[in-house]
Amino acid sequence: MTDISTPHDTAAPPKRRSRLMSTLAADRKAQAGLAVLVLFLLAGIFAPLLAQFDPNEMTLDMMGGLSWQHPLGTDDLGRDLLSRILYGTRVSLFIGFATVALALVIGVTLGLVAGYFGGWVDMVIMRYIDLQWAFPNFIIAVYLVAVFGTGLLNVIVAISLAFVDDFARIARSMTLTLREEQYIDAARVLGFSKARTLLIHVMPNAVAPIIVQATVSVSYAILGEASLSFLGLGVDANTPTWGLILADGRGFITRAWWLGVFPGLAIMLVVLSINFIGDWLRDALDVRQQV
Amino acid sequence: MASYILRRFIGSVVVMWAVATLVFFMLRLVPGDPIAAMLADAGGPEEMEAMHRRLGLDRALVVQYGIWFWNMLQGDLGSSIYGSRIPVTQIIVEAIPRTLSLSLLAFVIAMVIAVPAGILSATRRNTLTDNTVSFFAFLGLSMPDFWLAILLIIVFAANLQWLPAIGYTPIDEGLWEWFRHLILPAIAIGTAFSAIIARMIRSSLLEVLSSDYMRTARSKGLTPWMLMWGHALPNAMIPVITVMGIAFALLISGAVVVENVFAIKGLGRVLIEGILNRDYPVVQGAVLVVSAIFVFSNLLVDLLYGVIDPRIRLH
Amino acid sequence: MTTEDPKLRKRLRALWDEAHDFDPKDPLFGLTAKEMSGPKLSRRATLRLLAASGALTTAHLMPGGLAGPAQAAGAAGGTLTCGWAGVAEIVTLDPAKIDQVLQFQVTSNVLSGLMHIDSSLVAQGDLAESWTVSDDGLEYTFKLREGVTFHNGDPFTADDVLYTYERSSNPEISIHAGNLKNVASLEKLGDYEVKFTLKAPQASFLAKTLERASGRAMTIVSKRAIEEMGEANYGLMPVGTGPFKITDHVLGQGVTLEKFADYYDPERPKLDKIVIKPIDGVEPIAAALEAGDIQYIGGNPIASQLIDRFKENPDLVVDIKPAPGFQSVWMNPWRDPMKVTDFDRPMDELMEDKGFKVRLALAKALDRDTYVQQAHFGYAVPGYGSINPAMAFYYDEGIADKSQQAFDPEGAQKLLADAGFPGGEGFPELELITTPAGKRNGLVLANIYKQVLGITVNVTPKEFSVGIEDFNKMEFDMRLGGSGGDYDPDDGIVDWMITDSKFNGRTRDKEKYPFGYFSNAEADALISEQSVTADLETRKEMVQTANQITSDRVACGFLYHPVDVQVRHSSVNFPAESRIPGLHDFDRVTLG
């Protein structure tokens, strides 16, 4: 299965930007997605200001229903659900972006190195990537967390390593295509170093599909973290995360339905808006869907 | 072609071996002694030692690996460390029909939803119908499967009490019982899957519908019904079929989470419980089987793709 | 288990005193060899033996023992479907491998032993028809019940007892081999006669070692079945001589028991079929019970938040009793800032120790009422020691006021300030290990520490296998855990509080850590002495003093005692004589 997707326009940045804006203007879903995502980002950043309660502060008002004081009710330990979800936003978004950033750096580096140098370097890297490719990302993350243990850092490392293969593959195939393009030859003729050629010429042209992949990956990472937390393999028990709130609330949902509904709604809204944005970027940057 | 298949097959086996080996050694770096847990209340240091000896956990790691590998070649994956030491092969053989039942039902449900939805939105492109389908597809993609599972349990098991909240009944104890237990988890897994397939059918169908070939067929005066089911859909399904490998991976990883919500002891639950309990042989066995499923379904899809698109074989 | 009726009280006291009226050095505990023999132990002999083995509680003395009121019997036949709570699969039913209560709750319906306790905790002959004990208390000769058959049709004979003994005493196969260490030999005297010879007199031999359920060491197994089926399959579907036979067992799905028509008592069992489904998760088991999918809950303790909900349901019967056990916050005395390397110093000297101040502050800060309310929805009893309320007579009603550990927020804050952490400032973040299921309790605890002392305790749920290893090695800051099945003071103080107890840092590095979590010479001496002290009041005093020492010197922060809850559908007639604590014996159960 080839996964090459060549951007047809290797045009200058300004033109690309205008295309981005023009497609956005016509894409309601993307607009809504951006708006919701920005809202969640702000909520995460200003969580300490917005939350009326300490997310871990317990009261004897256990499983209290929706009220003015607790708009989303309280959980089984009398903690304010809204405050917990607000703080959970920080963890989810941070993990979403941090893992993808890490995976991007590692994956793209591996892919560029493999594609550009070829030979045995390429072979070694690609054998590893193939190995990882045989598994769904989530399964790999489960294996890795099982080995590293739980905790914020371990979860980030596990999820990002699980995504490395996606980025490496795209970066490598882009490099292979672009290597043959004339301007690389020109750069070589001009005597630029390999590293400089990679950075200045190959990278920017590989960017479009990587942006799309990165966007989609953020949503997968958020889902992945929530799933891991839900299975008890996530961030530690003292940090409110959406997956964990759902897992902890499971034993109480018939008496407190809000525990089973709102955290999941938060996950879904964020993932949905990122998917809308990803869809828009894919159209705007003219990247065909990766499989 | 034969040599290509052989080469790919050997490659797949090597991938599996590498994964199994990696997992074997990585698991042993993890803290946690299952023997201590088993004897927490029952035995002293002597019993503990006897048990370690019996399970071969006192030997060098390399020796343990050698023994495990040799036994594995003979189809013996060892036994669970806990309880009556049920052979891993037996645990997995019992788990496979559950995961398979679940995936199959999820697949069927997904298809039943996805095919009409895909057709509808392709034939009524950019109408309200199309937008609605597309919106629900996005929703399905964005909904965490375990959350959907919880919502289904709240509504259909806890409140309406129509369906059991957890568990599995094999099909030979009655089709209805089997179905009753699987329907909720199957919906939980199948929803994301159906969203993907519906979107794929839509775009693939749009491509086919605008092709010259269809224009010719239409000019021959075929009815829209025949056009769709006799010509457009079969062609549009080709690219859909070729991504079934990925689709299958999606179903299995969905099953890993959802089996845990519904306490169905399929491969996913075997894997997660094995990891949580540090039951080495079980984790190794589960990893091997899950890997095999992925690796060989990938291989199958590649070969299938080769059949459909002969150019691929050259690579 | 206290009673307000003074007459009853007096009678119970008389029974109690009578049971304990023996010289502990006497191998027969004041009983004649004849009294100890029998087709059935006399009530007096049983109580005496229980007292001598340290297993007697006032609960045994109540008329009808621990049983509830009798109920109208239903008709024979029918299928009972049970949910086994808090477990995803019943991994073994092989008595040699059983390590969980929820497992022997099943086998007690399938397998037999030579003896079985009844609802008054009196040991009755099961496969033993009668027995005699030699005058020195070392030889037990059993006449076995004749005409008993295994589920596979084989006759039960003395050879089966010998085979079970041989198998169970092999530590490579059985995890209960230790229970048979006191047996010197087992001889076959005839097809239906066997003789055990002990190395030393052992009061608990009949009621504990030979007991079919909780004993597990001498639960009779079938040699032919094990050989034919293999160890693993036998472990799933053991063949025995009990009232029900296992006809199906699929891991993660359930166990099916069917009436064994050739059971030696033609009156039992009443039910035709029992289906036992392991049901993991709180909501699922509640939903299953309310929807009528199951009619009875066994297995692990029921989640506290469900109790009120079940009580409100007119279709359900909820029966609550104190459970014999305790749960504590264990604090590693080898780690700063709660480091104490010598618990033997005089109390006022100990009070000067910074590490001890911290320990005491952590114990005093335990707001147990809030904890019980929040973590267990009120269904637990605040605890201050390892002696639990189910031990009635030994339980010190006043310990809540007397113990240094009594909740005292100002005192705790002052101690912490004296130790150099005013308002919790500069106090390191400690890690509290719980099981995944105990995480919620841990969070409640951490919150109490935050509120009272201003310190941060991070809850780390670890799988039991991982957490127990840290605990045994003394590699932890704090751990939330404790004990169950403690019927006698020995279970609480001998098992947990003496220096060489079986839990006190069992696999620790003995060079680095001379003892585990606690060691006090005075407590050791008292605890060893009380277990051989016959005089009731003296023993009680010793037990309570030892208990107070462990509490005052903060062996751990004692937290609560659990309760035992039975829930069943009202159509299930569970006769009082079958309500054996910790067990679910269905042989007399009917549906009506």
For CA atoms A180, A186, A189, A194, the dihedral sign is negative
- Residue B255 reports pLDDT greater than 80: yes
Q: Which of C362, C369, C354, C474 is nearest to C412 (CA)?
A: C362
> For residue C445, what pLDDT is reported?
95
Q: Token digits for C330?
A: 């264990």
pLDDT, tens digit, for every residue of B4-18?
Answer: 788 888 888 888 888
pLDDT of B244 above 80: no
Q: Which residues, listed in sequence order, are joined to residue C278 by a DSSP beta bridge?
A: C84
> Is residue A17 one of the residues assigned to a domain?
no
Region C335-353 average pLDDT: 93
- Residue B189 and residue C123: Cα distance in Å, rounded? 53
Helix (H/G/I), strand (E/B), else coil: C430: strand
Domain containing A109 equals 27-53+69-285
Q: What does the alpha-carbon distance between residue B139 and residue C296 come to, in Å, rounded to a whole number?
A: 40
Neighbours of C470 (CB within 10 A): 21
Residue A116 lies in a domain: yes
Average pLDDT of chain C? Answer: 85
Give the residue among C261, C246, C247, C254 at the shortest CA–CA distance from C277. C254
Of C370, C443, C447, the CB nearest to A237: C443
| Single-letter amino acid code for the residue at C1 | M
Percent share of chain B, pLDDT over 90: 9
- Residue A3 inside a domain? The answer is no
A-B contacts (CB, under 8 Å):
118
What's the gap in Å between the CA of B315 and the closest CA on chain A?
10
Confidence check: pLDDT of C56 > 90: no
Structure confidence by residue, pLDDT tens digits, C128-159 = 998 888 888 789 999 999 999 999 999 999 99
Three-state SS at C423: helix
Contacts of A173 in chain B (CB under 8 A): none
- Say if residue C255's pLDDT is above 80: yes
Whether residue B15 and residue A136 make contact (CB cut-off 8 A), yes or no, is: no
Residue C334 has a pLDDT of 95
Asked whether the beta carbons of residue A231 and residue B147 sit closer than 8 angstroms, the reply is no
- Degrees, nearest 5: CA angle A65-A66-A72: 110
Residue C411 burial by CB count (10 A; 0-12/13-18/19+): exposed, middle or buried? middle
Average pLDDT over residues C344-350: 92
Q: To the nearest whole number, what is the mean pLDDT of chain B?
A: 81
A230 pLDDT exceeds 70?
yes
The partner residue sitting opposite C465, judged by closest CB among B48, B169, B277, is B277
Tell me the chain B residues in contact with residue C253 when contact means C-beta distances shorter than 8 Å.
Answer: 167-170, 265
Q: Count interface pairs A-C at CB distance under 8 A.
A: 54
Residues 6+ apart with CB under 8 A from C414: none
Out of A203-207, C261-265, C417-421, C442-446, which region has the weakest mean confidence (pLDDT)? A203-207
Has residue C50 got a pLDDT over 80?
A: no
A227, A254, A276: residue with CB nearest B158: A254
Which residue does chain A place closest to B251, by CA atoms?
Answer: A136
pLDDT on residue A118: 82
Residue A177 phi/psi, 5° resolution?
-65, -50
- In this complex, the residue of B150, B276, B302 whose CB is nearest that of residue A1 is B302
Alpha carbon distance C207, C121 (integer Å): 9
Mean pLDDT of B202-216: 80
Chain A residues with CB-CB distance to B276 below 8 A: 232
Average pLDDT of the segment spanning B205-231: 78
What's the residue count for chain B?
A: 315
Residue C569, classed as helix, strand or coil, is strand
Q: Are C222 and C154 in contact (CB under 8 A)?
A: yes
Chain B positions touching C287 (Cβ under 8 A) are: 153, 157-158, 161, 164-165
Q: Provide mean pLDDT across the span A222-237.
A: 87
The reported pLDDT for the residue numbered B36 is 64
Put simply, the chain C residues between 117 and 146 with a CB less than 8 A from any chain B CB are none
**Quick one: pLDDT at residue C295?**
94
Q: Who among A236, A248, A250 is closest to C460 (CB)?
A: A236
A197: which 2 tokens? 């050629």
Say if residue C100 is exposed, middle or buried (CB neighbours under 10 Å; 0-12, 13-18, 19+). Answer: middle
Please provide the size of chain A in residues: 291
Q: For residues C527-539, give the mean pLDDT.
A: 76
CA distance A251 to chain C (A): 5
C298 CB burial (10 A radius; 0-12, 13-18, 19+): buried
Closest by Cα among B9, B82, B6 to B282:
B82
Q: Is C319 helix (H, G, I), strand (E, B) or coil?
A: strand
Residue A173 has pLDDT above 70, yes or no: yes
Distance from CA of A248 to the nearest CA of C (A): 8
**Residue predicted with more confidence, B239 or B242:** B239
Contacts of B18 by beta carbon, 8 Å cutoff, 6+ apart:
A131
Rounded mean pLDDT, B96-116? 90
C156, C95 in Cβ contact below 8 A? no
Confidence at residue C380, expressed as pLDDT on a 0 to 100 scale: 92
Minimal Cα–Cα distance from B8 to chain A, Å?
A: 12
Q: Is residue A262 part of a domain?
A: yes
Phi, psi dihedrals of residue B89, rounded to the nearest 5°: -55, -45
Rounded Cα–Cα distance for residues A86 and B218 (Å):
56
**pLDDT surpasses 60 at B177:** yes
pLDDT of residue A28: 85
Model pTM score: 0.80
pLDDT at A12 exceeding the cut of 50:
no
Q: Is there a domain that residue A140 lies in?
A: yes
Residues C178, C166: Cα–Cα separation, whole Å? 13
Over pLDDT 90: what percentage of chain A? 35
**For strand C79-85 and strand C273-279, is the pairing parallel, antiparallel, or unpaired?**
parallel
Q: Does residue A262 register a pLDDT over 70?
A: yes
Confidence category of residue C409, pLDDT binned at 50, 70, 90: very high
pLDDT of residue A225: 92
A142 Cβ under 8 Å from any chain B Cβ: yes
Question: What domains are there in chain B, each with its CATH number?
Answer: 2-73 (no CATH), 90-312 (1.10.3720.10)
* pLDDT surpasses 50 at C414: yes
Judged against a pLDDT cut of 50, whether residue B58 lies above it is answered with yes
DSSP C397: T
Torsion of CA C442, C448, C454, C460, to 10 degrees: 0
Which residue in C287, C309, C374 is closest to A58 by CB distance?
Answer: C374
| A161-172 pLDDT, tens digit each | 999 998 998 888
What's the pLDDT at C326?
Answer: 93
Residue C218: phi, psi to the nearest 5? Answer: -115, 30
Q: How big is chain C, counted in residues?
A: 592
Contacts of C250 in chain B (CB under 8 A): 94, 170
What are A40-80's pLDDT values in tens digits?
Answer: 999 999 989 988 888 888 888 888 889 999 999 999 999 99
- C283 CB within 8 Å of a chain A CB: yes
**Phi, psi (deg, nearest 5) at residue B218:** -65, -40
Looking at the domain assignment, is residue A291 inside a domain? no
Instruction: For residue B4, give the H/E element and its range.
Output: helix B2-27
Q: Is the pLDDT of residue C267 over 70?
A: yes
Q: How far is B194 from chain C (nearest CA, A)?
A: 27
Preceding peptide of C514 cis, ω within 30°: no
| pLDDT confidence tier of residue A184, bands split at 50, 70 and 90 | low
pLDDT band at C72, cuts 50/70/90? very low
User: CA of B294: how far to CAs of A89, B13, B252, B297, in Å?
Assistant: 33, 12, 9, 5
**Is there a contact between C436 and A232 if contact means CB atoms under 8 Å apart?**
yes
> What does the alpha-carbon distance between residue C229 and residue A152 come to, in Å, rounded to a whole number?
48
Question: Can you state the percent helix, strand and coil of chain B, rounding each to 5?
Answer: 80, 0, 20
Residues of B in contact with A147 (CB under 8 A): 26-27, 29-30
With contacts defined as CB-CB under 8 Å, which chain B residues touch C82? none
Separation CA C564–CA C56 (nearest Å)? 18
Say if residue B313's pLDDT is above 50: no
Q: Please indicate, yes or no, if residue A228 is contained in any of the structural domains.
A: yes
Taking residues C444-473, report their average pLDDT: 88
- Residue A144 included in any domain: yes
Q: Which residues, 6+ apart, have CB-to-CB distance to B223 below 8 Å?
A: none
At B175, phi and psi to the nearest 5?
Answer: -60, -40
Shortest Cα distance, chain C CAs vs residue B170, angstroms: 9
**Top-confidence range, A129-133, B195-199, C449-453:** C449-453
Chain C residues with CB under 8 Å of B80 CB are 91
In angstroms, the separation between the Cα of residue C379 and the nearest Cα of chain A is 15
Query: Which residues on B lie below 8 Å from C175 (Cβ)?
Result: 38-39, 42-43, 47, 51
pLDDT of residue B39: 59
CATH for A88: 1.10.3720.10
Above 90 in pLDDT, residue C37? no
Do residues B111 and B194 touch, judged by C-beta distance below 8 A? Answer: yes
DSSP chain A: -------S----HHHHHHHHHHHHHH-HHHHHHHHHHHHHHHHHHTHHHH-SS-TT---S-TT--S-SSSTT-B-TTS-BHHHHHHHHHHHHHHHHHHHHHHHHHHHHHHHHHHHHH-HHHHHHHHHHHHHHHTS-HHHHHHHHHHHH-SSHHHHHHHHHHHHHHHHHHHHHHHHHHHHTSHHHHHHHHTT--HHHHIIIIIHHHHHHHHHHHHHHHHHHHHHHHHHHHHTT-SS-TTS--HHHHHHHHGGGTTT-HHHHHHHHHHHHHHHHHHHHHHHHHHHHTT-PPP-
Residue in B closest to C176 by C-alpha: B42
Q: At what angle do helices B128-142 and B175-209 cross, to 10 degrees?
A: 130
DSSP code, position C428: P
CA-based nearest distance C36→chain A, Å:
50
Q: What is the 3-state secondary structure (H, E, C) of C324-384?
A: CEEEEEEECCCCCCCCCCCCCCCHHHHCCCHHHHHHHHHHHCCCHHHHHHHHHCCCCEECC
Among the ranges given (B243-247, B272-276, C109-113, C445-449), the one the predictor scored with the smallest mean pLDDT:
B243-247
How confident is the model over B273-278, as a mean pLDDT?
79
pLDDT band for C81, please (50, 70, 90 cuts): very high
- Give the pLDDT confidence score for residue A197 in this predicted structure: 67
Q: Which among B84, B150, B161, B283 is the top mutation candidate for probing chain C, defined by the most C β-carbons within 10 Å of its own β-carbon? A: B84
How many structural domains compose chain A? 1
**CB of C479 within 8 Å of any CB in chain B?**
no
User: Measured between alpha carbons, how far is residue C6 from residues C3, C13, C29 in Å?
Assistant: 8, 10, 29
**Residues C232, B41: C-beta atoms closer than 8 Å:** no
The mean-pLDDT minimum among A99-108, B191-200, C199-208, C345-354 falls in C199-208
CB C463 within 8 A of CB C435: yes
Q: Is C171 an interface residue toward B (CB < 8 Å)? A: yes
Closest CA to C169 of C104, C229, C221, C127: C221
Which has more confidence, C340 or A3? C340
Average pLDDT over residues B39-58: 66
